Amino acid sequence: MQNKERFHEAFAHTSHEVMGRRLEPFSLRHRFWLEALESPLVTGGGATMIDLEMAARVCSIRFENLNHDVPGLLGRGPGWRAQAGFVWRLWRRQATVEYAKFQDYFCDHGCPPATHGRGAAESEDGSLETMPGILGLVTALARGSGWEPETIWALSPGSAEWYLAGIFTHRGVDMRLKSEVDEIWEESFRRERAEKATG
């Protein structure tokens, strides 16, 4: 996927449904809660149907209700209706299909610009790499834009990265964004190497 397509993907979204739940636009706050719950869908590792169900429940909560609803969800646990619904969804769905749908959801909301080297949220000395989770991206964007934290938390990860790259570029920082020519050249180079390897 080239930067032009990645830009469109970061800002234009389709509707997503995972485990029978319609998911809300994925925001940095949704990502925060998934990280806080140590969901393997964001931390890595094997994801179970229970992990998919929990992530789908979190991501089906509207942004403005997250800080209220997620702690409440954790405190009370699933009621008998939610448990029965999960058993029904478990019986009707395949883990690989639901996992792929969740990955599509992440991809739809998290396409940062392709760069030559460091990501947009990393500093020259790597200090932002030591911040927990996505706090480095949030604080860099707050500092660069002057926006209120709640405005930033409502952004999708991909659009936040694009805004940050744009802010730094306008301030004269070389973000090393790949041009269309770079990406075409890299793609043709990869194709040539693959053809030589197979032929």
| CA 95/CA 9 separation, integer angstroms | 25
pTM as predicted: 0.61
- For residue 82, the model assigns a pLDDT of 62
Of 52, 78, 109, at which residue does a domain stop? 109
Cα 5-11-15 angle, rounded to 5 deg: 100
Q: Does residue 114 form part of some domain?
A: no
Q: Does residue 88 form part of some domain?
A: yes
Same domain, 103 and 133: no
Same domain, 42 and 103: yes
| CA 174/CA 77 separation, integer angstroms | 48
50-62 tens-digit pLDDT: 888 889 999 999 9
Same domain, 44 and 92: yes
Q: Does residue 121 form part of some domain?
A: no
Same domain, 94 and 132: no
5-44 tens-digit pLDDT: 777 777 777 788 888 889 998 888 899 899 888 888 888 8
Cα 175-178-179 angle, rounded to 5 deg: 120
Q: Does residue 131 form part of some domain?
A: yes
103-124 tens-digit pLDDT: 888 877 777 777 776 544 444 5
Length of the chain: 199
Q: Does residue 77 form part of some domain?
A: yes
Same domain, 77 and 161: no
Same domain, 173 and 90: no
Which residues are CB-contacts of 40 (< 8 A; sequence separation ≥ 6)?
46, 47, 51
Same domain, 96 and 158: no
- For residue 120, the model assigns a pLDDT of 45
Same domain, 141 and 174: yes
For the chain, how many structural domains are there in total? 2
Same domain, 20 and 77: yes
Of 109, 139, 165, at which residue does a domain stop? 109
Which residues are CB-contacts of 123 (< 8 A; sequence separation ≥ 6)?
140
| Both tokens assigned to 194 | 């693959």
Same domain, 28 and 93: yes
137-193 tens-digit pLDDT: 888 889 888 898 889 988 888 888 889 889 988 888 887 888 888 888 888 888 888
Q: Which domain, by its residues, includes 160?
A: 127-198
Same domain, 52 and 143: no
